[in-house]
Chain A
Amino acid sequence: MSTVLQLKNVTKAFGEMRALDGIDLALPGDAYISLLGPSGSGKTTLLRVIAGFEDPDGGSILFNGKRIDTVAPHQRGIGFVFQNFALFPHLSVAQNIAFGLENREVDAVTDRRAVEGLVKDIIALVGLSGLEGRAVTQISGGQRQRVALARTLVTEPRMVLLDEPLGALDANLRARMRTELRAIRERCGVTFLHVTGSETEALAMGDTVLVLDSGRIAQSADSDTIYNRPASPAVARFLNCYNLFPGRLEGGAFVGSAGRFSLGNRPATRATQPAYAIRYDRVAVRPREAAIGENEVRVEGNFVASEYSGAAVNSFFTLDDGRVFEVETHLSHAAPETYVDQGRYALVWKREDALVYA
């Protein structure tokens, strides 16, 4: 796969705040890439630097092998879909979509017939047929999202940047637009870089998932790798499905305020901060006096509350050091159990299921 976009050591600071702290990445052509980061991790800044709305302080950006960091945004040929869609409020759906074709400085399409044809095709592609003449203030959120996308795609960019494109939609529509966005991208064959703060969205949509942590790319891998083997404690935290313990390695065990966890022969992943992580759904809740197996690890905790989400139940326990510990039980293989309020339980997992960072 050829590289469409390459960033080399890109930095950007706002006053004291280093929004981008040496970003290196290479994005392949014809792929769906999601960029996951908590708010404040610099993900919007990264997109704006790539699009040209912000100038980087240092580093270089190559698009199709050419440096673009000094090129004006309107000459870069990179599409941008805004979180609030940024539709032109005084133009109709069709006029919004035709805007780029008619008004771009390079290769503007002057033939009206040609513009109409292209607009019609893209309207069919994104599923907006019949709404051409509507004002953009008179259509629903999902339809506006499609207009924003169509407006960008019709100009045939080689890459589209999407800034939390589903953030303004309600949950139902969000789920539907996920599949839709992937399908539209496959039909166009361009690279989508989709920025999101939602770990489920990032994992569900990206062929490749990039995780951004305080201005740096913390991990770049496929969804399965990200989910099962996060490269650092920070990535594990963003995924929102790991119990994390700080502490240190000490003679074949991980020692922290919650206790001593034996490690077996599992190698530790290198990280700046030692940490021990166990996924919510890898933990079993047992009565306090139940015995544990040889390769199992155990902590005790008091039951606080549980949250039913249909296919699973998430139960929350407080450990003796005050830390909250979360357990996810999938209801497809067990009926929901009821735990006694403030009752003490043993929380048990296999030691090879844990991830150790040192």
Chain B
Amino acid sequence: MSMMAVAEQTEAETVAEKKPGGKALWLLAPGVLWMVLFLVLPMLMMVYVSFWTQTTFKIEPTLTLKSWVTFFTSDTYLGALWTTVRIWLIVLVATVLVGYPAALYVGLFVKNKALQTVLLVLCVIPFWTSFLIRVLAWRPMLGKEGAINMILMNLGITDAPIEVLLFSELSVIIGMTQIYCVFMVGPIAFMLGRIDHSVIEAAQDLGAGFWRIFRTIILPLSMPGVVVGAIFVSVMVLGEFATSAALSGRKVNLLGNIIVTQVGSLKWAFAAVAGVVLTILMGAVIAALLRVVDLRKEL
């Protein structure tokens, strides 16, 4: 008996001393190779191309700052940058405002785990149709003779159709909020679901009312979910071009739309500049969001 125990102990010690070195590192090889070939190299290439010389139909590897200067002196490009930031902020706030209460309901007030899962799956159902259909479906909803205007007029709430509903910044915001809201609901509901119910009961027992408990316990404990959701939504909204193309009637130009048009007219250097700017913007946003909550501590 004691012999066996000793044998087990030495075995445990040798296992503990082994480090994930040597052969285990090979497990990373496919991933690293893939990322270097298809992520790191293209990004470096993009930065490099942004300094190439662009003529009307040709691009030459002669280094110049011309594309960068054009980008930062043109009202069109700076306007697109500003529109991108503005729409991103509005959509981010809108997804939190719409998503947080829904997540609060699913994650905290639905006690049955199975029902929780069902409700979260319901949120994902719109994703069973293609992105394009989901975006275009807003047109018959929001148009001048669309569903919303028809209902409002038939109910006598408005006399004339509200034209600002479609082909405006508003329609882009409505569409994006609907599409990306679920990416906010999921992480928040997950974090809320992890809150031990007795913690909330303890706060109640100590005399705090619901709003106090929400502000001091529930909200801080769900912040990691808000941050993860915000990262998802930010990355997707900042890189958006399809929703604005389909719903704004070309009135809203995001950086993503600029890149699409520039690539379409073979202006690779300009597209690369816009791409680098967008990448830096996303990096800054993610870094700022990660400052709010230490995710390593939470997950």
Binding site for B on A (CB under 8 A): 51, 53, 72-75, 77-80, 82, 84, 86-90, 99-100, 103-106, 108, 151-152, 155
Contact = CB atoms under 8 A, between A and B. Distances in A.
A75 B202 CA distance: 13
A73 B205 contact: yes
A80 B209 CA distance: 16
Contact of A104 (B196, B202, B207, B217): B207
A105 B209 contact: yes
Contacts of B206: 74, 99-100, 103-104, 151-152, 155
B221 interface: yes
Contact of A90 (B201, B202, B208, B221): B221
Nearest to A82: B198
Nearest to B215: A103
B32 interface: no
Nearest to A135: B297
Contacts of B208: 74, 99-100, 103-105
The contact size tier of chain B is 10 to 19
A89 B201 CA distance: 14
A252 B257 CA distance: 101
A53 B201 contact: yes
Among A74, A100, A105: residue with most chain B CB under 10 A: A74
Contact of A82 (B202, B213, B220): B202
Interface string B162-201: 0000000000000000000000000000000000101101
Among B198, B202, B203, B204: residue with most chain A CB under 10 A: B202
Interface of B: 196, 198-199, 201-209, 212-213, 216-217, 220-221
B207 A106 contact: yes
Contacts of A79: 205
A100 B207 contact: yes
Among B196, B203, B207, B221: residue with most chain A CB under 10 A: B207
Given A84-B196, A88-B217, A89-B221, A74 B209 contact: yes
Contacts of B221: 89-90
B109 to A, nearest CB: 15
B198 A84 contact: yes
Contacts of A73: 201, 204-205
A99 to B, nearest CB: 6
Contacts of B196: 84, 86
Contacts of A80: 201-202, 205
Nearest to A79: B205
A88 B207 contact: no
A80 B206 CA distance: 8
Contact of A99 (B198, B201, B203): B203
A87 B196 CA distance: 10
A74 B198 CA distance: 14
Given A88-B217, A89-B221, A90-B220, A103 B207 contact: yes
